[in-house]
Chains A and B, each alone.
Chain A
Amino acid sequence: MDTLNSREKTLCSFTGCSQEALFKSARCAHHLEDIGHYMSMLKEFLLSTKDFSCLNLSNLVFSDLTIEGKYFYFCNLHASIFTNCEFDNINFQLSFFDSCRFFNCRFNEGRIGWSVLADSLFDKCTFSKQDIFRSNFNACRLKHTSFQNSSLFTSRFIKADFFHSEFVDCNLLRVHFEYAQLNDTLFKNSNQEEAIFDSERIEE
């Protein structure tokens, strides 16, 4: 069970902009004056702090970032881009990664709970020993992406588009794949018979 504190929203100070300001900034990502300086400050903060809650980090670009043993809580990373990032033992709870793009990223031995990753792109990504619970991957595009030895209990991949991806040794109990395009996608040693595909009707 997790707690969510509602974020106090501060709007971007740029005239006419209605976007929410970034964490520790008066402006949104589109109107930052020195994005390079902001990203190095942010990287330092991410590496030196353990728990993060209610941060707005939307529309940013993260590359070659390796973080370990952190706890993210109701953080908004909407439409951010992650390239060559490694997340080791990271606990994401109630976090929003909708419309993000992940390239060559690895999620190892962490947790993703009650989170929204819908409408995101995962290209050459790996989820290994992840405990993914009640998370939303609807309308995602997953290319050459692998879920290994992970639980995805009651998560949803409705209308997701898989291409050369795989689920190996995964718990797929009550995972929704309705309207998903499963092109060359492998289910190996996983209980896909307990997942929900197009042909079933759920009584809820």
Chain B
Amino acid sequence: MKLYPHYVVVGFSNSYLISGKESSAAVIIDPGRFDAKMLSLIENNKLKICAVLLTNSHKSHVSGIKTLLKIYDAKIYCYHASLFGIKTIPVRDRQQIKCGDLTFTVIETPGHSTDSVVYRLGDWLFTGDTLSAGLTGTTPNLQAHILQLKKIREKLLPLGDELIVFPGHGPPTRLGIERRYNVMLNELCPRARRNVSFF
């Protein structure tokens, strides 16, 4: 597998282009913007975009979709059945998505938004806004925050300390580092209290 992390100006977010070992089939996760850099990367490596995976439908993760679809005939996978009037393939917990020799597993983690999901590919986790280095996603209310923490603790942390987390914003991290040091996971800290609109 090859991974091309890409910094997106929209919302200071991350896009990831992943290609398989054996085929030219490739996947884009969260195209917050589809720019010339991403285009040349795909073309220079002779990749064929077969799928776009969305971790949530917020602007900083999806703004590049319309441009991308003008160039490539890719399937869009997200929690909802449509996005901006574009028909998508809805994903659900434990669903597997295959693209060439890449197989992603969907992990539903609602909280930051009702449609938040994480994609696992081997030892890599693409966590979108659910979990980033030292932080968790902002949430609309206290219940959503508690739900997000529950999903992270129950579904992500048990996967193993060595797993590499590629978040939707900020630098990568390891799951073990987050388990030990992410203040948002360990208690309802002041930042977490500000993180919800309830307070």
Which residues does chain B contribute within 8 Å of A2, judged by CB atoms? 4-5
* Interface presence of A114 (CB below 8 A): yes
* Interface presence of A143 (CB below 8 A): no
Instruction: Report the number of A-B residue pairs with Cβ-Cβ less than 8 Å.
Output: 119
* Interface presence of A31 (CB below 8 A): no
Which residues does chain B contribute within 8 Å of A1, judged by CB atoms? 4-7, 37, 41
Say yes or no: A139 contacts B137, CB within 8 Å.
no
Which residues does chain B contribute within 8 Å of A154, judged by CB atoms? 7, 12, 170-171
> Which residue from chain A places its CB closest to the CB of B169 in the assembled complex?
A204
CB distance from B165 to the nearest CB of A (A): 9
* Interface presence of B57 (CB below 8 A): no
Which residues does chain B contribute within 8 Å of A158, judged by CB atoms? 133-135, 181, 183
CB distance from A179 to the nearest CB of B (A): 5
Selected contact of B3 from candidates A6, A115, A176, CB within 8 Å: A6
* Interface presence of A37 (CB below 8 A): no
* Interface presence of B55 (CB below 8 A): no
* Interface presence of A101 (CB below 8 A): no
Which residues does chain A contribute within 8 Å of B158, judged by CB atoms? none
Given contact pairs A158-B135, A174-B12, A203-B138, A3 touches B4 in the complex (Cβ within 8 A): yes
Listed stretches A39-47, A81-89, A130-138; interface member = A130-138
Docked complex Cα distance between A155 and B173 (Å):
12
* Interface presence of A27 (CB below 8 A): no
Which residues does chain B contribute within 8 Å of A4, judged by CB atoms? 2-5
Size of the chain B interface, CB-CB below 8 angstroms = 40
Contact mask for chain A residues 133-156; partner B; CB cutoff 8 A; 1 contact, 0 none: 111101100000000000000111
* Interface presence of A106 (CB below 8 A): no
* Interface presence of B108 (CB below 8 A): no
Say yes or no: B1 contacts A116, CB within 8 Å.
no
Docked complex Cα distance between A118 and B129 (Å):
20
* Interface presence of A49 (CB below 8 A): no
Which residues does chain A contribute within 8 Å of B1, judged by CB atoms? 5-6
Say yes or no: B133 contacts A156, CB within 8 Å.
yes
CB within 8 Å of A: which B122-159 residues: 122-124, 129, 133-135, 137-138
Which residues does chain B contribute within 8 Å of A123, judged by CB atoms? none
CB distance from A65 to the nearest CB of B (A): 25
Docked complex Cα distance between A136 and B2 (Å):
21
Docked complex Cα distance between A179 and B195 (Å):
15
CB distance from A130 to the nearest CB of B (A): 15
CB distance from A9 to the nearest CB of B (A): 8
CB within 8 Å of A: which B1-47 residues: 1-7, 11-14, 37, 41
Say yes or no: A159 contacts B183, CB within 8 Å.
yes
CB within 8 Å of B: which A76-123 residues: 94, 96, 98, 114-116, 118-119
Selected contact of B171 from candidates A6, A134, A204, CB within 8 Å: A134
Say yes or no: B174 contacts A204, CB within 8 Å.
no
13 contacts between A and B (CB under 8 A): A1-B37, A2-B5, A116-B173, A116-B174, A118-B174, A118-B181, A119-B181, A134-B171, A138-B133, A176-B135, A201-B138, A201-B194, A204-B60
Residues of A within 8 A of B (CB): 1-6, 94, 96, 98, 114-116, 118-119, 133-136, 138-139, 154-156, 158-159, 174, 176, 178-179, 198, 201-204
